[in-house]
Amino acid sequence: MKLRKGRYAKWNGRDYELASYQRIYYLTTEDPSLADEGFTPQEGRPGRYIREVSVKELEDAYEIIPYTIYKSHRFTVEGETKDGKLVMVTSDPYVRNDMNVKPYGRHEFIIEASPEEVDLAEECKGILGFDGQSTNCRKFLK
């Protein structure tokens, strides 16, 4: 399972990661076969391909926020460690009563857990004027 997190867009019926630089938007992929659709190798990132797009060309744009309910507390999944554990963060102050968490920033707590211990889900929020309704956000990814 690949953890999806960040900005995405739907273009020509397919979902791509979305990047921007100085208000210019780019679709990104690792699929080299998309050269016929205008994707070119990304400079400095071997195996990555990009295509400039305008917001008007997009069918949808959204941000994916992976999360889980772990031991009755909601955590946002921030990423994965090199050994495959999920890095999870919460601002729930009562979490300290139920598990061994570490302080993380101001009023936040962090913990690592094996992916087998949690059921992942994705929250999608529309961006760039889109409502994010056409996305394929997934609940319970296990």
72 in the same domain as 41: no
Assess if residue 12 is contained within a domain.
Answer: yes
What's the total number of domains in the chain? 2
44 and 91 belong to one structural domain: no
pTM above 0.85, yes or no: no
Residue 1 has pLDDT above 80, yes or no: no
CB 95 within 8 A of CB 68: no
Q: Give the residue among 69, 25, 67, 71 at the shortest CA–CA distance from 50.
A: 25
Amino acid at 47: G
Please check the confidence at residue 136 and state whether its pLDDT lies above 70: no
* Same domain for 94 and 80: yes
Q: What is the structure's pLDDT at 101?
A: 92
Region 75-99 average pLDDT: 92
Confirm whether 115 is domain-assigned.
Answer: yes
Q: Tell whether the model's pLDDT for residue 139 goes beyond 90.
A: no
Domain of residue 28 covers 6-61
The CA distance from 89 to 75, in Å, is 5
Calculate mean pLDDT across residues 44-58. Answer: 93
Query: Is 10 a domain residue?
Result: yes
